[in-house]
């Protein structure tokens, strides 16, 4: 009976650790990756022209002008061609 309890405790610890890692990735790392991908895609589309890109909700999300794209929500900028 003690062995089964020990295995259950290790299973719970493992599940909690995996959930914590997933939460960290989703809340901390994923937004940075998503913003970077969006800016790279916008730069590829806009090039040196002036364009504004909208998100799925129809609101402006990325503004590009003179070879620099800016994420409106975070203020993150990417110089196109780099």
Residue ranges per structural domain of the chain: 2-79
Neighbour-count burial of 62, counting CB atoms closer than 10 A to its CB (0-12 exposed, 13-18 middle, 19+ buried): buried
pLDDT per position as a tens digit, 20-74: 999 999 999 999 999 899 899 888 888 888 888 888 888 888 999 888 999 988 8
pLDDT (0 to 100) of residue 2: 63
Opening angle at CA 80, ends 40 and 65, nearest 5: 105
Give the residues across from 53 on adjacent strands: 62
């Amino acid at each position: 009976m003690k062995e089964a309890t020990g295995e259950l405790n290790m299973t719970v610890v493992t599940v909690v650790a995996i959930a914590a890692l997933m939460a960290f990735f989703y809340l901390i790392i994923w937004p940075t990756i998503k913003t970077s991908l969006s800016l790279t895609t916008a730069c590829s589309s806009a090039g040196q022209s002036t364009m504004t890109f909208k998100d799925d909700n129809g609101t402006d999300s990325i503004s590009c002008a003179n070879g620099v794209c800016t994420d409106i929500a975070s203020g993150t900028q990417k110089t196109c061609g780099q």
